[in-house]
Amino acid sequence: MNASQTRKKVTVALFVATFLAAIEGTIVSTAMPSITGELQGIRQYSWIISIYLLATVITTPVYGKLSDLYGRKKMFVIGALIFLAGSMLSGVAQTMNQLIWFRALQGLGAGALTTIPYTIIADMYSFEQRAKVQGWMSSIWGIAGISGPLFGGLLVDYISWRAIFYMNLPFGIVAIYLLASSLKETLEKRKRHIDYPGIITFTIAMFSLLYAMTLIRNEDGSGTGSAWLIGALFVFSVLFFVIFARIEMKSPEPIIPFQLFRNRMISMANLDSFLLCVINVVVIFYLPLWIQGVYGKPATYSGLAMIPLSVAWPLGSILAGNWISKKGLRFIAVAGSCFLFASSIGFSFMNASTSIALFVVYTFLAGLSFGLSLTSLTVAVSSSVGWELRGSAVASNNFIRTLGQTIGITVFGLLLHTGSAEQIEASVLAGSLHTIFVWVAVLSVFVVLVSMSMPALKQAEHQQRNAS
């Protein structure tokens, strides 16, 4: 088998793995009513999704660092096997508590699937080819957004909600086989140091932070006891983050190398990614709410109205992949941020009489901006360091993105008001969403400024050559 065929097999495996990780959120959300109905756990509804995200966020930087130490293939296979074990067990769960624990296990493996594929692509391809392939890979998230609800609905209606977990098994096994049999890595044989204190303190700090945010998001913070718990969790999180930072500064192989943040390209890309994902989560979750609550349209209609976002996102990713080597990273990032600013201004001026045609235009621009910007930022991060730090760099960017979404949905959730607890009042909802969209427009200005502050393409390539 020649090098080209080998690379194609590895790339297909990575695309499959990324799709499984990307579709997991939307396909499970579709099945939640059936799951809670059969397992009788409506009060634990949110934890099925939250625990998966918690585990994924916590393990993302860990897998990134371990892939630098022990190789991409080994850590990918381990993570994929954990993910598949969690999927299989979730499919056979008999109670909500069992399902929550099995979803946590699935999330512990998903951290590898959301990070290592981007790192392997960066290792295998030259800069120009890498941009194109990562553009296609980024488009998978948009494709998953379109197909997830539809595919999940079909499985639930015609087979069983358990099928949404079982479907991961055949595709996951194929991905593991293709990558394990095709990817060849040469690692220097030396004793490896694993930063166990760093992993433990980071896990405690992140779990405390995200658990506190989950309690706020789920409106469990009512009552003195819950308020004290949330406050204690935040204090606990800060304390362990301080301990984690001290450990990392002394560790010979830190989980999150602080030297990454001295790289201006990575710092700017991470800041840009954070702001983009704060906005991204608002667009994804609150625009359907606008359609249903303000326009008074059914759920199916809101799904159709969001198709422009799902189409424009992969389109933007593919365009970014083809244009980066010609026009430069900064140009693509700035172009994406300008589209975001335009769409955000449009959203901030919407009211109940705004035509659906304008809504579709704004939504399309938002999707195009996410595709252009997030793809260019992924390439920027992976191209700014050498092999020995690339896994950590990509993982840090993915971690920052998920953290941005978590913080975004929590903070803006506090601004969301629907009126009566029993029924949505369109005028109240429209007013609160207007406030949220105004803040999104303000944040989009900062996205433009940060994008303009990124180093030029040639500087990134120079940094890469020096780091390699």
Q: Do the domain assignments include residue 126?
A: yes
Q: Rounded CA gap, 465 and 468, in Å?
A: 5
As a whole number of angstroms, the distance between CA 345 and CA 234 comes to: 34
DSSP letter at 306 equals T
Last residue of some domain: 185, 208, 241? Answer: 185
Is 336 part of a structural domain of the chain? yes
Q: 389 and 350, same structural domain? A: yes
Same domain, 181 and 50: yes
Burial class of 438 by CB neighbour count within 10 A (0 to 12, 13 to 18, 19+): middle
How far, in Å, are 56, 57, 61, 149, 165 from residue 83 at the CA level? 10, 14, 16, 21, 10
Tell me: do 161 and 297 sit in the same domain: no
- Establish if 267 belongs to a structural domain: yes
Where helices occur in 114-223 by DSSP H, the ranges are 116-124, 127-158, 163-166, 168-182, 196-217
CB of 230 closer than 8 Å to CB of 215: yes
Task: Please tell me the predicted confidence (pLDDT) of residue 405.
Answer: 79
Domain total of the chain: 3
Closest CA to 82 of 99, 51, 100, 59: 59
Q: Is residue 413 part of a domain?
A: yes
463 in the same domain as 341: yes
The whole-angstrom separation of Cα 327 and Cα 31 is: 43
Say if residue 144 is in the same domain as residue 54: yes
**What's the pLDDT at 296?**
82
Do 30 and 143 share a structural domain? Answer: yes
242: containing domain: 195-252
Quick one: 285 and 330 in the same domain?
yes
Phi, psi (5° rounding) for residue 349?
-100, 5
Say if residues 216 and 50 touch (Cβ distance below 8 Å).
no
Domain assignment present for residue 400? The answer is yes
Is the same domain home to 129 and 87?
Answer: yes
| Token pair of 322 as six digits | 């083809």
Cα 391 to Cα 357: distance, rounded to the nearest angstrom: 43
Question: Would you give the end-to-end CA distance of the chain in angstroms?
Answer: 28
Whole-angstrom CA distances from 355 to 31, 362, 438 are: 32, 11, 19
Give the separation between CA 102 and CA 51, rounded to whole angstroms: 10
d(CA 344, CA 443): 9
pLDDT of 299 reads: 60
Angstrom distance (rounded) from CA 340 to CA 359: 14
Residuewise pLDDT in 10s, the chain (468 residues): 566 778 888 888 888 888 888 887 667 766 766 777 788 765 666 677 778 877 887 888 888 888 888 888 889 999 999 999 999 999 999 888 899 899 999 999 998 988 888 888 888 887 778 777 877 877 787 777 667 766 777 787 788 888 889 989 998 999 999 888 888 877 665 566 677 888 888 888 888 887 787 677 555 444 444 778 888 889 999 999 999 889 888 887 777 777 777 888 888 999 999 999 899 888 877 887 788 788 887 766 766 777 888 789 888 988 888 888 788 888 899 999 999 999 999 999 998 888 999 999 999 999 999 989 988 898 888 888 776 777 778 878 888 887 887 788 778 877 877 665 456 678 888 888 899 999 999 999 999 999 998 887 554 444 444 444
Query: What type of residue is 344?
Result: S
Answer yes or no: are the C-beta atoms of 215 and 50 closer than 8 Å: no
59: Cβ–Cβ under 8 A, 6 or more apart, which residues? 79, 107, 108, 110, 111, 112
Residue carrying structure tokens 């009512």:
222
Between CA 321 and CA 371 the distance in angstroms is 10
Burial 196-233 (b: 16+ CB within 10 A, else e): ebbbebbbbbbbbbbbbbbbbbeeebeeeeeeebbeeb
CA atoms within 13 A on the CB side of 77: 13
Rounded Cα gap, residues 39 and 149, in angstroms:
21
pLDDT recorded at residue 359: 92
Residue 209 one-letter amino acid: L
Query: Looking at the domain assignment, is residue 9 inside a domain?
Result: yes
Residues 284/285/290/293 CA torsion (nearest 10 deg): 150
Positive or negative torsion for Cα 234, 241, 383, 5: negative
On whether both 409 and 369 belong to a single domain, the answer is yes
Residue that is last in its domain, among 185, 209, 238: 185
What's the count of helices (H) and strands (E) in the chain, helices before strands?
A: 18, 0
With respect to residue 190, please indicate whether it lies within any of the assigned structural domains.
no
The DSSP string of 315-334 is HHHHHHHHHHHHH-HHHHHH
419 phi and psi angles, rounded to 5 deg:
90, -120
Facing residues of 419 across strands? 424
Contact call for residues 317 and 311 (beta carbons, < 8 A) = no
Answer yes or no: are the C-beta atoms of 112 and 391 closer than 8 Å.
no
* Residue ending a domain, choose from 252, 277, 293: 252
Is there a single domain that holds both residue 370 and residue 433?
yes
- Dist. CA 385–CA 309, nearest whole Å: 32
Q: Per residue, what are the HEC states of 36-57?
A: HHHHCCHHHHHHHHHHHHHHHH
User: Which residue's structure tokens are 């892939």?
Assistant: 67
Structural domain includes residue 452: yes
Residues 316 and 227 placed together within one structural domain of the fold: no
137 and 224 housed in the same domain? no
Residue 30: CATH number of its domain? 1.20.1250.20
